[in-house]
Structure 1
């Protein structure tokens, strides 16, 4: 019965959504595989050249892609622009993970690395891809924060809070890239690699609010909880998530 329901839900997805889910699953599988490579290789987990980056980028980008494909179904927007934005986001996720992965196998840093023509091309592609990611996600976030969201009150609250925290993720991501690029050019690559990622705690915590909060609303609804109770639970979870994000920000800044 579970397999029949899953197959029916998969068929109900639009083609671009099915592609996004499939690509997201493959990216997450890539992250798992590279974690296995890390265990077998016995190399360092931290540092600019490590198996941590293809592992975490594969898992994070894959999960985020699946999440965005799901939560954008609740946005009130024309199907064609959504399909285009989701398609661009899917391709961009592949680009980002592929660039990180190629550099990991080449045993050279991925970000800020312009030491050779190949590394310069990959670093440029990653930077341009990051800019595209920001444009796409901000476009979705603006629609959500303007109230153009369908669903019960608890789900609307969860989506607006999730997209709002995702904007914080984008800000911290851009700040880390900008800081690293400046330090790489003005001081040294070593300083850039050691200090550019200082905002990773808040970046990582805020990133997945867009999954956690709407998922809570959907699960409570599936359990048959009344809407007022669901709304209070989501509101409490939102404040707790904001508190966790503030704590992560303090850790990042100190």
Structure 2
């Protein structure tokens, strides 16, 4: 009320500048509390950032220690896995805020996903420091245990991300024009990445158990480009839709751009798939 006792509208909170945490609030949902303020989401974002820094730190280790960049034993693995898992965790934490999914189930799934990302990167890093392969390595009981843990962790990743993908297609996601298509395309392509990863592991296990250990380590090479390209569509396409929402272009124009980008990304994934089939 004012000094005369007349009820007045509540003061509107000042808008946060673009590029701050408020930018994570989906367009059309300004009344929703910024999701990153929730402890579970803050934990996931912090964990993803730590994994990215972990990958960068091992890039310095590689620069100092040297050694091969390719192959089953190299510093490349903690670098690339730290960066990939960190970026994917941050991406999934952000983009799932647009999905029509309950807050509690989303938080539980995100925390499980974050813990699994840490386990995966930790196992790979441990084996890199031991100078032994991380995946498909059954040389000792300990190595077998690490390889099995990584394989089980991969299964957990598939389940969690598949649940989010199903949510994206079950109900139309929120967000600015183009965001629903970006999210659905990103998650669909992400499933391709998960399937290609599962095929790599399955083929490697078969070769390893039939006495072709060296062939098992090299059998994953043809599918690596497909896996890498498809893995980050869930970040690239939604990020494009979000950036377009900051422009003055019409909603129809933004949708067309996102549609073209999704088509181009799909073509790149198909190209990587063809290359994998030809070099298998």
Q: TM-score, normalised by structure 2?
A: 0.86
- Separation (CA, whole Å) in 2 of partners of 1:5 and 1:59: 22
Please give the secondary structure, in 2, of the residue aligned with 1:198. Answer: helix
Q: Is the 8 A contact 2:73 2:128 kept in 1?
A: yes
2:256 is aligned with 1:242: no
**Which of 174, 186, 193 is the aligned partner of 2:217?**
193
- Separation (CA, whole Å) in 2 of partners of 1:59 and 1:162: 19
Q: Closer, same or farther in 2 for the Cα pair 1:87/1:178, shift >3 Å?
A: same
Q: Is the 8 A contact 1:176 1:196 kept in 2?
A: yes
Aligned-residue offset at 1:6:
2.8
2:248 is aligned with 1:224: yes
**Deviates further, 99-108 or 224-233:** 224-233
**Which of 112, 120, 138 is the aligned partner of 2:162?**
138
For the aligned residue pairs, the C-alpha RMSD in angstroms reads 1.9
Q: Is the 8 A contact 1:145 1:163 kept in 2?
A: no
Please give the secondary structure, in 2, of the residue aligned with 1:49. Answer: coil
2:77 aligned partner: 53
- Deviations along 1:187-238, one digit per CA (max 9) or x if unpaired, are 3210100113321111111111111111111101112222100000000001
Q: Is the 8 A contact 1:145 1:164 kept in 2?
A: no
- Separation (CA, whole Å) in 1 of partners of 2:125 and 2:77: 8
Counterpart mapping for 1:75-90 below 5 A: 75-90=99-114
Counterpart mapping for 1:179-218 below 5 A: 179-218=203-242
Aligned-residue offset at 1:2:
8.9
2:54 aligned partner: 30
- Separation (CA, whole Å) in 1 of partners of 2:277 and 2:219: 11
Q: Is the 8 A contact 1:176 1:198 kept in 2?
A: no
- Separation (CA, whole Å) in 1 of partners of 2:220 and 2:263: 29
Which one has the largest radius of gyration? 2
Aligned-residue offset at 1:148:
3.6
2:143 is aligned with 1:129: no
- Separation (CA, whole Å) in 1 of partners of 2:17 and 2:262: 33
Q: TM-score, normalised by structure 1?
A: 0.95
- Deviations along 1:36-76, one digit per CA (max 9) or x if unpaired, are 11111120000110001100000000000000000000010
2:30 is aligned with 1:6: no
Query: Which structure has more helix as a fraction of its residues?
Result: 1
Structure 1 segments of 4+ aligned residues over 2 angstroms from their partners: 1-12
2:92 is aligned with 1:92: no
Aligned residues between the structures: 254
- Separation (CA, whole Å) in 2 of partners of 1:34 and 1:178: 28
The unaligned stretches of length 5 or more in structure 2 are 1-14, 25-32
